[in-house]
Every structure is written in C-alpha cells, then in structure tokens.
Chain A
Amino acid sequence: MMQVLEFRAMNTRVLLAADGLERARSGLWAARGLIEGLEFRFSRFVGESELSQLNASAGRWRQVSPDLMDLLQLSLGLHVETGGLFDPAILPDLKRLGYDRSMDELRDRGAELPAARDRAKQHVFGRLEVDRAAARVRLPPGMEIDLGGIAKGWIVQKAADVLHSYTAACAVSAGGDIVFKGLPIDARYWPLSIEDPLDPTRSIAALRLGPSAVATSSVVKRSWKQGERLRHHLIDPRTRESAETDWLSVTVLAPDMALAEVYAKALLIAGGLEAPALAAQRPEISYVAVESGGALVASGVNLEEIREQSLAIAQ
C-alpha cells in the first residue's frame, strides 16, 4: 500500500511516496517538515537566506551552519572533479544574462539587455576559502555563488534518507530530481518516464529502476529572451555565456542525488564530444541524453531495453 503526499516547495511540485500505513504516514510528514525547513536557507532569491548573507559578505570570513558547510565542501569536490564545468560562482554571469529574478518574473517581463562584464566579479569557485575547524568560509571580493540545483538535490536526498528511516521503500521527487529507496513490496522496480525536452507532455523513454537517484538538466526549460538572443540558465564557466551544446537534455542515474544533479549539468555543458570522457571517471553513473535532432544517446543504459520498456508501458 503506497501513501502519497504532494505539495509545493522549492518553487516546484514535490511528491513523496512511502510503502506502508501509519509509520509511512509519519515519515511523509517528517520528510515534508524537513523540506519546508530547508527550502529557503540556500535560495539566492530570499534576501535573508543564509546563502544570500554569505554572498553579501564576500571579502570577509563568515561563520556558516554545518549544513551550508557540508554543501559548500560537496560543491568544491565536484567542482574539481568535473574540471570546473560545475561552478556555483557563475552567478554574476547568470544575472548579467538576465536571470536576476525568479523564472516566472523573467518569462513575464523579459530580461534587461546585458551589462558589461565586470572582471572583478568573475571568479572560479575553487578560490573559495574554507576553514572547517572554525566553521567559517571566505568568498573573494566580488564572488557570488548560486547553489540552486545542488542544494535542491541535497535537500531531496536528505528528505529521502529521513523517509527511508520510516519505511522500507519510498521515493522523493521534486521537479524531476528523484530519489528511489528500496523497492515497493508489490513491484520489482520503480517506473520512470523521461520527458521529451521539446514537449514535456510526451515521454521520450521509460525506465525501470532499482534504488537510485535521478536528475535531468535541460537547456530548454529555463530559457528566456534577452534582446534578440535566446538565453538559458546553464552557463558554461569557460565562456561565461549560456552553454552552446549539441544536447537538449541529459538524465543521469547515480547512487546519490547531488552526484546525479551535478553530472547532469556538467555532461550537458560538455556535450556529445566531451561528455563520455567526463562520465567515464564515475563508473557508477549512467546517462540518457537527447540530441538536438531528437535522437537518444545513452551510457550505462541499454537503449534497446529502454525502447522495449517504453513500448510495453505505452501499451
């Protein structure tokens, strides 16, 4: 028996599912409480959030909570591992390209024309200084960071861990970031559909998954016009512009949500030429990418199997 709880948080639809009855129900409330308690702490759009206060104190050492310290250290490790393709310090460039307000506002009112680049604000995340023993960090002057995706993934993972302590099988989904824990008693897999990036009402592939974490990055979903140019939210740290990639979206399957989230971004920015080498350094991850022409590219996932499963589920 599956208990399902749906609500809005982190600016998206959240779905929690847990196998069982009373205890599962308690777990759902506990997981929801955790998500609602954490969702605004790492948002750059909330002026009093811990992240906004850290950004405002660039140039000075600042005490941070253990949660933010964990998140920053995790981000630093993955920044190095992805050769800098994952870089939370691209926030000034994201703002310059128009993403200085929520996506809803941006779509309603459009973006202002880009300001000139401010070299003093162009940093790489690796320059962040961390003093773990004293629980403090220092951003170089002008550095601003955006932990949007990885923070969401980190919260989803935490919520799934909490929910899993109440039930043997559960899932937490937040806007396409999904963690599956255990397997439902009456099913041998978790069904997952990958949306067509050009038509989200259409499924482009269907997978049957065991316990895992899933994240998808797309250059289509969060896009806007700035003057005559089409922008999207995935900034290539090498060019400081919206990434020019031959892929429309990448779905990554990984044992951990933060890993799935970061690699989905980095592989999409890397594109078809560089992505295979980048993914090869993490044998535990698999991915399915959609090329700009609509074809599927996969690694660690059997494409024939995906097609058969898609057909079986469609029937």
Chain B
Amino acid sequence: MRPMRIALRFWLAATSVLSFLAGWIMLAHSPKPAHSVSTSAGAPLAALAPMSMLAPLAPLDLSGPLGNVGVASPQFPLQQLPPRVSLQMPFFSTGGS
C-alpha cells in the first residue's frame, strides 16, 4: 500500500505543477485584449477607427434663482456625430436672420 500511496502523491504533485506551467505558457502566448486606439502610435489620423463620443452634459446654472430653467428641451434630437478633421478651411457665409 505504501508504494502506491507515494506514487499517487507524486502523480498528483507532478500533474498540478505541469498543469500550472501549461496554463502559464498558454496565457503568455494568447492574443492581447484589444485596447482603444492610441493616437501616439504614429498612425495617420485618417486610419484611426472613429471613437464613439458622448456629447458633454449641459452645464448646470445654479447661479440664479431660476436655476437651469429651460436648459433642456426635447424639441431637437441631439446629433452625436464626432468632429471631422478638415484639411481645408470651412466655408463661412453670412446672409442674415
């Protein structure tokens, strides 16, 4: 019985160590999780994937007794398009209101 017990202990210890090492090696060689695009990587700007951006919240005005009355209105849906980069000067025109 005693040799059997020693063999079993040795087998359990050996398989534990080997499994741990195998897991370590697999994790070390697996693909990295995707990070958000970094602009410091030197990639041209046009090649960057567009990031979805949230519009900033409307600032609260608590300075007056009326607070932020009328600040928010559901009349116009917010357009969440991010700014675009333009190599040309935008076109400005004035025609009156």
Contacts and interface: CB of A to CB of B under 8 A. Distances in A.
B47 interface: no
A15 B79 contact: no
A197 B59 CA distance: 37
Most interface-central of B56, B68, B89, B97 (chain A CB within 10 A): B97
Contacts of A29: 53, 55-56
Interface residues of B, number: 39
Contacts of B58: 33, 36-37
A4 B97 contact: no
A149 B97 contact: yes
Interface string B63-96: 1111011111100101101111111111111111
Contacts of B69: 41, 48-50, 53
A113 to B, nearest CB: 26
Given A53-B66, A67-B64, A4 B95 contact: no
B94 A195 contact: yes
Main secondary structure of the interface of B (DSSP, over half): loop
A285 to B, nearest CB: 15
- What range describes how many residues of A lie at the interface? 35 or more
Interface of A: 1-9, 12, 15-17, 21-22, 25, 28-30, 32-34, 36-38, 40-41, 43, 46, 48-50, 52-53, 63-68, 135, 149, 152, 171, 173, 175-178, 184, 187, 190-195, 197, 200, 203, 214-218, 220-222, 249, 251, 264
Interface of B: 39, 45, 53, 55-59, 61, 63-66, 68-73, 76, 78-79, 81-97
